[in-house]
């Protein structure tokens, strides 16, 4: 078994249900942790700083960019989002599999910097369902929903760059499918090379 956890990059278009899926996944799999991202967007009523995001102002975020604190960062829907190197390593050193819940821009950065990472893209079952889910949130105004729908086609077009595609039609089934990917990845040859070498050298 690996001495460090795997890194999974999970992306989706807004409204696909990615956050609900990952919350359910981490509740069911104690070996998986979500890397908490920094963001400049306004905290929603049900969100907790340090649990859902690290909420910071624009000046603080830009200072962190200058300090090289982020393994990836992007400006999405007019707000900054980023994942710090320190957050990832803290979890990996404890042998947790780490999920980076990030947009497609951030995912592209991760592929370049961390080529060993594993990409999973969550698809909606249809455009109609995607729009319905955005409206049901009750947290977005009409202009924000329109912007997210406009951006969603570009985001979904990037799905072909990911290693795995999972359709979120039935939530529990989607959770199970992502969990299978995570568990199978623990048995990749690169993760267990030490065990193989030790066996071969023992005789």
Q: Hey, what domains does the chain have and what are their CATH numbers?
A: 7-201 (3.40.50.300)
pTM, two decimals, is 0.81
Mean pLDDT in residue range 107-128: 92
Rounded to whole angstroms, the Cα distance separating 159 from 88 reads 23
- Element spanning 176, H or E: helix 171-185
Instruction: Give the mean pLDDT of the chain.
Output: 90
Instruction: Quote the pLDDT of residue 180.
Output: 97
What are the distances in angstroms from CA 38 to CA 10, 62, 74, 113, 139?
A: 16, 11, 11, 19, 20
Residue 88 binned pLDDT confidence (cut-offs 50, 70, 90): very high
What are the distances in angstroms from CA 129 to CA 57, 126, 149?
A: 33, 5, 12
Rounded to whole angstroms, the Cα distance separating 117 from 98 reads 10
Rounded to whole angstroms, the Cα distance separating 45 from 66 reads 30
Residue 2 binned pLDDT confidence (cut-offs 50, 70, 90): very low
Residues 56, 73 contacting (CB under 8 angstroms): no
Statement: residue 61 has pLDDT above 90: yes
Mean pLDDT in residue range 155-179: 96
Query: Ranked by mean pLDDT, which of 51-55, 94-98, 173-177 comes out on top?
Result: 173-177
Q: What is the DSSP string of 18-55?
A: HHHHHHHHHHH-TTEEEPPPEE-SPPPTT--BTTTBEE
């Amino acid at each position: 078994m690996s001495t460090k956890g795997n890194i999974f990059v999970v992306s989706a278009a807004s409204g696909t249900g990615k956050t609900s899926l990952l919350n359910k996944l981490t509740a069911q799999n104690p070996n998986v942790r979500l890397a908490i991202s920094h963001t400049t967007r306004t905290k929603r009523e049900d969100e907790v700083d340090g649990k859902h995001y690290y909420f910071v102002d624009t000046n603080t975020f830009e200072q962190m960019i200058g300090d090289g604190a982020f393994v990836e960062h992007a400006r999405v829907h007019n707000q900054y989002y980023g994942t710090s190197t320190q957050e990832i390593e803290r979890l990996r050193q404890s042998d947790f599999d780490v999920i980076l819940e990030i947009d497609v821009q951030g995912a592209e950065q991760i592929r370049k910097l961390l080529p060993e990472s594993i990409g999973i893209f969550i698809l909606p079952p249809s455009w109609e369902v995607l729009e319905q889910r955005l409206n049901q949130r009750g947290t977005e105004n009409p202009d924000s929903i329109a912007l997210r729908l406009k951006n969603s086609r570009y985001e979904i077009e990037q799905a072909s760059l990911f290693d795995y595609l999972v359709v979120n039609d039935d939530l529990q089934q989607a959770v199970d499918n992502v969990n299978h990917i995570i568990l199978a990845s623990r048995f990749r040859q690169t993760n267990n090379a030490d065990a193989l070498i030790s066996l071969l050298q023992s005789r």
